[in-house]
């Protein structure tokens, strides 16, 4: 969510992806209802308003110093280049401008003046070395749904305290112990796929959601957890909808679910406190840090509301991302028989060792012994770049790489563009895990972001993916059902229709479904 967090982000991320992209322009208008509703009545007023806005904007954007604004076109007043973005192939929208203006260029999209960045060095300045000058920027509706105290929306000391705690909960040393629970989730899910046609994305979402629930609540089956799962589904539907808080709309329902989620979480927190045990998962870590014995350290204390917003935020961040990545991995492995065979051999090696040693479950060491499968994950993170970019906003006027960026402008490091540069990744459109036999050039590869806001869940995401791939490749084969190409956004870019596949046990012959 992070980022993928926003509708704006979502649409932009979505649009800035893959050649076969399908653009649903209606979603664009949901961002700016003014553009579609009651146009005839408001046109005269709108014209005046646009003119005054233009005058104001020109004044506002005129660089006061000797440094120029970045090159690029701001398009039409207010509308900027939004229509171009949605009528051109989004890939060429960015690459044409990059070719014409260079790695840093300005544009105006969805009501915001933006600076796009596709050089690793400049992205590092925004995300790492001068990160204090660029704050995360998300629409208010997203803050309302996730909760304004969630880590994504903050800078400075509060963010630092949260990050320390969340990061520590997802370090390899902390997640090692959850491998058997993750494996159990996989083993419960896989039999339901056997000899069936499944929607890969939906199934992977179920899986990643269950892992996220274990990560935040531990393995205890508390009664509130089932309720939380149901409310979460409602929240998810409203997240990418138009932010209209009117009865009947998905957003309204999501806001209602959000309120109930808060109440349920508060009850769970109270019950854990009363029982004298903080319980497992990230919630346990939060309760421990805010416990009476730690209260003396102000730095450790978080209110129930802060805890609830961050628990909800982490679940958001953890599951759609991982599920989308897994869906791409299934597609890329399906498309390359030799690679699938090589990954299967690697996983059978692990299975063989387990049988010899008489260990029934996967161990942490097993997962550290899967170099090819790990490279498949790395290459999928690069090629699919499910988080195509992130959003920041200049907190003050900034002089940046020889340019002037006015306060309030959005600044977008384009991860995908960097990941697809031929000088860092030769033949960038080719899926080639062997390119990761050598470490990538510093700052040229950042699927989990970079700097203060980088992803604390990267190790958990990789671990759960390795566990699924171990069982899937050693036991099953799969065939894509229906149209093979195309992309949809849900909200991350994923293969069309969520990649329906037919899964059969490896010892059975695959019969291609004609649909």
| Contacting positions for ligand HEM (CB under 6 A) | 2-3, 136, 151-152, 163, 166, 170, 215, 314, 317-318, 321-322, 325, 386-387, 390, 447-449, 453-457, 460-461
Phi/psi at 393 (5° precision)? -135, 135
Query: Distance between CA 386 and CA 380 in Å, rounded?
Result: 9
Residue closer to ligand HEM, measured from CB, 306 or 475: 306
Q: How far is the CB of 198 from ligand HEM (least distance, A)?
A: 20
Helices 458-475, 179-189: axis angle to 10 degrees equals 40
Q: How far is the CB of 147 from ligand HEM (least distance, A)?
A: 12
Do the annotations mark residue 455 as ligand-binding? yes
Residue closer to ligand HEM, measured from CB, 351 or 384: 384
H helix and E strand count, the chain:
20, 12
Residue closer to ligand HEM, measured from CB, 3 or 85: 3
**Residue the block writes with tokens 């805890």:** 307
- Using CB atoms, what's the residue nearest to ligand HEM? 457
Query: Distance between CA 171 and CA 457 in Å, rounded?
Result: 8
Q: How far is the CB of 84 from ligand HEM (least distance, A)?
A: 25
Residue closer to ligand HEM, measured from CB, 214 or 481: 214
Query: Distance between CA 413 and CA 123 in Å, rounded?
Result: 5
Query: Distance between CA 329 and CA 209 in Å, rounded?
Result: 18
For 86, the token pair is 């949605």
Is the separation of the CB atoms in 269 and 288 below 8 Å? no
Residue closer to ligand HEM, measured from CB, 86 or 332: 332
Q: How far is the CB of 160 from ligand HEM (least distance, A)?
A: 9
Residue closer to ligand HEM, measured from CB, 161 or 477: 161
For 425, the token pair is 């990744």
Q: Is 441 helix (H, G, I), strand (E, B) or coil?
A: coil
Query: Distance between CA 449 and CA 400 in Å, rounded?
Result: 20
**Residue the block writes with tokens 């033949």:** 427
Residue closer to ligand HEM, measured from CB, 5 or 109: 5
* CA within 13 Å, CB half, 351: 14
Nearest alpha-carbon partner for 158 in 301, 364, 338, 315: 301
Q: How far is the CB of 318 from ligand HEM (least distance, A)?
A: 4
Which helix (H) or strand (E) element contains residue 378? helix 371-384
Q: How far is the CB of 444 from ligand HEM (least distance, A)?
A: 15
Q: How far is the CB of 453 from ligand HEM (least distance, A)?
A: 4
**Cβ-Cβ contacts under 8 Å for 392 (sequence gap 6 or more):** 126, 127, 134, 135, 136, 137, 410, 411, 412, 413
Residue closer to ligand HEM, measured from CB, 265 or 314: 314
Residue closer to ligand HEM, measured from CB, 404 or 431: 431
Q: Is 487 helix (H, G, I), strand (E, B) or coil?
A: strand
Helices (H), 218-303: 223-239, 250-275, 281-289
Q: How far is the CB of 480 from ligand HEM (least distance, A)?
A: 21
Q: How far is the CB of 163 from ligand HEM (least distance, A)?
A: 5
**Cβ-Cβ contacts under 8 Å for 386 (sequence gap 6 or more):** 4, 321, 324, 325, 328, 447, 492, 493, 494
Query: Distance between CA 155 and CA 141 in Å, rounded?
Result: 19
| Residues placed in the known binding site for heme | 455
| Residues placed in the known binding site | 455
């Amino acid at each position: 969510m992070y980022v993928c967090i926003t509708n704006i982000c979502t649409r932009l991320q979505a649009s800035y992806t893959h050649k076969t992209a399908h653009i649903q322009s209606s979603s664009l208008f949901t961002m700016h209802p003014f553009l579609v509703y009651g146009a005839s009545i408001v046109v005269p007023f709108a014209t005046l308003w646009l003119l005054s806005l233009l005058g104001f904007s020109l004044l506002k954007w005129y660089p006061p110093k000797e440094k120029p604004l970045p090159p690029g076109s701001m398009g039409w007043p207010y509308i900027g280049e939004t229509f171009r973005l949605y009528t051109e192939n989004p890939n060429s929208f960015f690459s044409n401008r990059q070719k014409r203006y260079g790695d840093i260029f300005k544009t105006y999209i969805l009501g915001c003046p933006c600076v796009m960045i596709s050089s690793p060095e400049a992205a590092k300045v925004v995300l790492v070395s001068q990160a204090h000058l660029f704050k995360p920027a998300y629409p208010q509706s997203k803050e309302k749904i996730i909760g304004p105290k969630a880590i994504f929306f903050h800078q400075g000391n509060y963010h630092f305290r949260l990050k320390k705690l969340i990061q520590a909960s997802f370090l390899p040393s902390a997640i090692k112990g959850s491998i058997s629970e993750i494996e159990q989730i996989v083993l419960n899910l896989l039999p339901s796929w056997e000899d069936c046609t499944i929607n890969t994305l939906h199934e992977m979402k179920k899986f990643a959601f269950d892992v996220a629930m274990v990560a935040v609540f531990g393995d205890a089956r508390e009664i509130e957890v089932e309720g939380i799962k149901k409310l979460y589904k409602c929240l998810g539907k409203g997240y990418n909808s138009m932010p209209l808080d009117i009865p009947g709309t998905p957003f309204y329902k999501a806001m209602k679910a959000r309120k109930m989620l808060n109440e349920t979480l508060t009850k769970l927190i109270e019950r854990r406190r009363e029982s004298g045990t903080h319980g497992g998962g990230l919630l346990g870590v939060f309760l421990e840090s805010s416990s009476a014995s730690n209260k003396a350290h102000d730095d450790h204390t978080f209110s129930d509301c802060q805890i609830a917003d961050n628990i909800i935020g982490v679940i958001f961040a953890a599951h759609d991302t991982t599920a989308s990545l897994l869906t791409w991995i299934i597609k890329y492995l399906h498309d390359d028989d030799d690679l699938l065979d090589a990954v299967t051999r690697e996983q059978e090696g692990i299975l063989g060792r387990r049988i010899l040693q008489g260990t029934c479950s996967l161990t942490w060491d097993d997962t550290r012994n899967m170099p090819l499968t790990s490279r498949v994950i790395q290459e999928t993170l690069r090629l699919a770049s499910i988080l195509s970019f992130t959003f920041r906003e200049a907190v003050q006027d900034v002089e940046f790489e020889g340019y002037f960026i006015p306060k309030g402008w959005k600044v977008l490091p384009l991860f995908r563009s960097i990941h697809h540069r031929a000088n860092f990744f030769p033949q960038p459109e080719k899926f080639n895990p062997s390119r990761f036999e050598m470490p990538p050039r510093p700052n040229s590869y950042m699927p989990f972001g970079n700097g203060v806001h980088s992803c604390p869940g990267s190790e958990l995401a990789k671990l759960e993916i390795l566990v699924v791939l171990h069982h899937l490749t050693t036991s099953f084969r799969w065939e894509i059902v229906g149209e093979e190409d195309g992309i949809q956004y849900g909200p991350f870019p994923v293969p069309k229709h969520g990649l329906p596949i037919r899964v059969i046990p490896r010892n059975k012959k695959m019969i291609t479904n004609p649909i």
